[in-house]
Structures are given as structure tokens and as C-alpha cells.
Amino acid sequence: MEKTWQLALLNWYRENKRDLPWRKTRDPYAIWVSEIMLQQTRVDTVIPYYERFLALFPDIQALSGAPIENVYKAWEGLGYYSRARNLQRGAQTVLERFDGAMPREAALLQKIPGIGEYTAGAISSIAFDQPACAVDGNVMRVGARLYADEQDIALPATKKYWQKEALGWIPQGQAGDFNQSLMELGALVCLPRGAKCPDCPVRQWCRAFETGQVEALPVKSAKAKPKVECYRVLALVDEKERVLFCRRPEDGLLGGLWLLPMLARGEDVESYIASLGLTALERLPLGRARHVFTHLVWEMEGELIYVRGGGSLPQGGAWVEKGGWQALALPGAQAKLVRALEEALC
Ligand code: SF4
């Protein structure tokens, strides 16, 4: 099959690609780090994190052996911390199961924690030029428009369809650049809204452009609304101006990170304080904060409570000296409330 649009796209990519740090390497570990960081995160945000992370953990050995706290700290502000935890677990798996060398094939890469189909395809093609595809929403959008395809891209079956198609698009021996050219087209030209068709290198092959369906494609059914959870966030300050923080269990949302204690709606603040052997001296409002995760929203109402006494600590709890929490891995979810706490204490 003659791959006309594919070659036009490749040429355009080679002349116009953005100068990004992970495009200067074929090191599969570095490409892996970049791919994980780029999930749900903008390129401009990722660049400094990527460079710092690789300076701190330059290879699989360094990441495997690092204290998880240091890994979280390097990730702080990027969000979706399970990615950092899985990256380290993945590095440990590469050491244990693959003698420290990343496998070349996408199917083997998927056996590593945190590496799904897309990331496996990206690493296999970009680092090793293996004929693997890397299909995400961007690539499906480009495909749906190029072929004026009306399948719903929210459906798993549609993704399977595009994975099969995309595998057939790859010009021989050029999987890495080709996959990146598709990603680049989706990121810079074939945008979800306001596609820049006049600048598009594959416009002459694009059926959606030809038939005036660009804005109508791809078809995507609406997602379910995220669940909203309401919490009261307590900044308990003792007589030595120490603040109680709790480390979340390793598994689950924000696993291993430190947060101010949170009570779900319906839990009683006074009883919680009493359960720790504390007495509240003064209670002050600390403001509200909202944090949006992928499928979940936290609505938080903060309270600053001066306490005295003490006895038992909640699970994962520790009293932290004033300002000492800056050395802890704190998630962005409570950043606004922690800032309000710092202002109130200074
Ligand atoms: Fe996308 Fe427009 Fe290019 Fe078609 S012509 S691939 S719709 S940017």
C-alpha cells in the first residue's frame, strides 16, 4: 500500500517538530519518564519536571533504589501521584525481571507496572523503532477526521479499531518518528476545536475537510459526571505550634502523600479531636478549596483548630514542626489550605 499521507506527515514532522528534551534521546527509560509525565499534563509544565527528575534519578537503578519520599518530592506539583509510585515499581520490575534492560516489544513492556498499551507502544516505537502503535484520543481524532469515521471514540471497541488501523499506517522502519508525527499533528494542528486545516500537511487526503465535517468529528459520547465528595479539613495546631499531618496508605488515591486530616460529611469534629486525646481551644475558618481528579471532585472546607493535650495519633499521623511540612510530599489538592494555614501562623 502506498503510504502517501503518512509520508507527507513524516516529512512535515521532521521539518516542524518542537524541540523537546525527550526528543533528544533514544534512552527507553527517559522516554518512559516523559510519557508518564505527559499523561494528563501539558508539555510546558512537564519540561522542568522531566529535567529535574532525570538529574535526580538518571537511570533505572537510581530510581529503583531511591526512597519513595524523594520520588514523590520530585513529582510534587505534577499531580496524579500514583504515576510516580508506579514508575518506581516499574523500575524495580525492570531490574528484577528484565535484568535492568527495558524490553523492546510492546507486549513485554506492558508487563511492567504503570505501562499500559499506549505507553508501551510509544516506548517500543520511539526508543526501538519497533512497529507498534500508540493510540490515544489525539490519534483517534486525527484518524476519525482523515477517514470521516463516525464511530464513537469513547467506546473501547473504537479504540481497538484505531489501534489496528494505526498499525497499518506505519511506514516501514519509521515507527518512532511516525507515531510522534501523529501525536504532533493532534497537538498542534488537528486540534479538538479550531483545527488549523489551512496549515495541515495531510489536508489533501482528509475526508472530513473535504466534506465539511471537521468540527463534527470525532464522535464522542458524554462522560459520566465526576462524583463529588465533601470534606472538612482540619489544621490542628498544638501548644508547640506543631501541625498534625497524616500520611495516606501506599495504595489508592494520593497514596504515600501527606495531608491534613480530613473528615467526611457527617463525621463530628469534636469527637475526632477527643479521640486523639485533644481538647479544642479555638476554632477558626480556614477557607474553602476544590480539587478535581479525573473521576472525582473534592469540596473541602478548612478549619484551623488550636488544641492542647495529646495521646494517640491517627493512622499515619505525625506532629510536624511549623514549616517542617515543606519537606514532606504534599499533594496539590490541599495546597490552598496549607497556604492559608501558613499565613494564619506567621
Ligand atoms: Fe485535521 Fe484539518 Fe488536517 Fe483534516 S485537514 S487532519 S481535520 S487539521
Return the number of other C-beta atoms located less than 10 Å from residue 186's C-beta: 21
For residue 238, the SS3 value is coil
Contact criterion met (CB below 8 Å) for 128 and 174: no
Q: Which of 138, 190, 196 to mutate to test the pocket of ligand 1 (most atoms within 8 A of CB)?
A: 190
Point out the catalytic residue in the list 2, 15, 35, 303. Answer: 35
Is 301 annotated as catalytic? no
* Mean per-residue pLDDT of the chain: 94
pLDDT digits (tens, 9 = 90+) for 155-205: 999 999 999 999 999 999 999 999 999 999 999 999 999 999 999 999 999
Please give the Cα distance from 310 to 107 (Å, whole number): 53
| DSSP label of 93 | H
Q: Is the pLDDT of residue 224 over 80?
A: no
**Collapsing DSSP states into helix, strand and coil, what is residue 54?**
helix
Q: H/E element holding 118?
A: helix 117-128
Contact (CB, 8 A) for 302 and 337: yes
The predicted structure's pLDDT at residue 64: 97
Say what the pLDDT of residue 1 is: 43
Rg value, the chain, Cα: 24
Mean pLDDT for the stretch of residues 228-239: 95
Q: Is the CB of 182 under 6 A from ligand 1?
A: no
Side-chain half-sphere CA neighbours of 44 within 13 A: 1
Span 95-101, mean pLDDT? 95
Query: What are the tens digits of pLDDT across the range 261-300?
Result: 999 988 999 999 999 999 999 999 999 999 998 789 999 9
Please state whether beta strands 296-309 and 227-237 pair in parallel, antiparallel, or not at all (unpaired).
parallel
Q: For residue 195, which atom of ligand 1 is closest to its CA?
A: 8
Distance CA 184, CA 187 (A): 5
Please tell me the distance from the alpha carbon of residue 339 to that of residue 326, in angstroms, as a whole number: 11
CA 250/CA 267 separation, integer angstroms: 24
CA 37 / ligand 1 centre spacing (Å): 27
Q: How confident is the model at residue 42 (pLDDT cuts 50, 70, 90)?
A: very high
User: Is the pLDDT at 2 greater than 60, yes or no?
Assistant: no
* 145 C-alpha to ligand 1 centroid (Å): 6
Q: What is the pTM of this model?
A: 0.74
Q: Is the peptide bond before 67 cis (omega within 30 degrees of 0)?
A: no
C-alpha grid cell for residue 153?
471514540
Q: Relative to the CA of 203, which ligand 1 atom is closest?
A: 5
How many angstroms separate the alpha carbon of residue 174 from the centre of ligand 1? 22
Q: Tell me if 175 sits within 8 A of 134, measured CB to CB.
A: no
The rounded Å distance from CA 144 to ligand 1 centre is 10
Q: What are phi and psi of 279, to 5 degrees?
A: -120, 135
The residue length of the chain stands at 346
Residue 62 clears pLDDT 70, i.e. is over it: yes
Quote the DSSP letter at residue 217. Answer: -
Task: Tell me the per-residue pLDDT of 204-214, one tens digit each, with 9 for 90 and over.
Answer: 999 999 999 99
pLDDT > 90: percent of the chain: 84
- Closest ligand 1 atom number to CA of residue 201: 3
Report helix, strand or coil for 67: coil
- Of the chain, the percentage scoring pLDDT greater than 70 comes to 99
What is the rounded average pLDDT of the residues 294-309?
93
Report the pLDDT averaged over residues 126-137.
96
What pLDDT shows up at residue 223?
A: 77
Q: Looking at per-residue confidence, does 83 or 125 come out higher?
A: 125
